[in-house]
A = this chain, B = another copy of it.
Amino acid sequence: MLVKSQVKYIQSLGHKKHRDEDGVFIAEGPKLINELLNATQLQPVNLFATREWLEANRSGIFEKEVVEVSILELQRISFLTTANQVMGIFHKPIFPEIEIKGKITLVLDNIQDPGNLGTIVRIADWFGVQHIVCSQDCADVFNPKVVQATMGSICRVQVLYTGLQDFLSAHGDIPVYATSLDGTHITDMSPMEEAILVFGNESKGIGAELMHMIRNKITIPGRGEAESLNAAVAAGIILSHLVR
């Protein structure tokens, strides 16, 4: 059974401030929870699960942290429209220090939409990209909506928040690419082992000062009339051409 203080605490974790204070985040649903429980980098703090889930997952190793809840109780604490069997509070993953030499790294400037950010983390994971560097004004990767959209990739891709101009300056030896309407066609480019790929805000694109630091422009050629592509779709397309 849930006690009031637990409900309040879980609701507080909808806010970045409280997640940061305790170094934890929330995930939901049997598929995602099972993937996170299997990830060696992650430790669950608490699980709140229905009897249905508990009976299907009787390993016993979670006994200490599990609270059995009714589906109504779960709905009360869920961040989903429809609660789904189990919610977990996890310690944020701890990654080794970021090393981007010889790798492909994504840099995100002010990506606001949680679904977009989560989808980009999932795409990075698909293509084996280990690091995503976000501007401080991007959505928080531990926002419950982002966590859900990563479909578990959040335990494998390291997401770092920092000033992007300083980050690019500190890695001046790695070629930096951004999408633009007048760049080299992605279909004419060869796969590469090392690059920084920059993607910008959903409506404003990449900030002017940052754009000024980027010499290599890539275009995704289209023969239709849409004005732009969604940032996550563009990231997926570019990685599919550059990663082999």
Contacts and interface: CB of A to CB of B under 8 A. Distances in A.
Interface of A: 115, 119, 122-129, 151-153, 156, 186-187, 220-230, 232-234, 236-237, 240-241, 243-244
Given A224-B129, A236-B236, A240-B220, A122 B187 contact: no
Top 4 A-B residue pairs of the complex, sorted by shortest distance between their CB atoms: A128-B224, A128-B223, A125-B226, A233-B236
B240 A153 contact: no
A210 to B, nearest CB: 24
A11 to B, nearest CB: 20
Nearest to A223: B128
Which of A119, A124, A224, A230 has the most chain B CB within a 10 Å cutoff? A224
Nearest to A233: B236
Contacts of A228: 126, 151
B233 A152 contact: no
Copy count, this protein chain: 2
Given A237-B237, A240-B237, A240-B240, A226 B126 contact: yes
A224 B186 contact: no
Contact of A244 (B126, B129, B187, B236): B187
Contact of A236 (B122, B124, B225, B237): B237
A225 B156 contact: yes
A223 B103 CA distance: 13
Nearest to A186: B240
Given A125-B226, A224-B129, A226-B126, A241 B243 contact: no
A151 B230 CA distance: 10
B119 A233 contact: yes
A62 B234 CA distance: 36
Given A128-B222, A240-B186, A229 B123 contact: yes
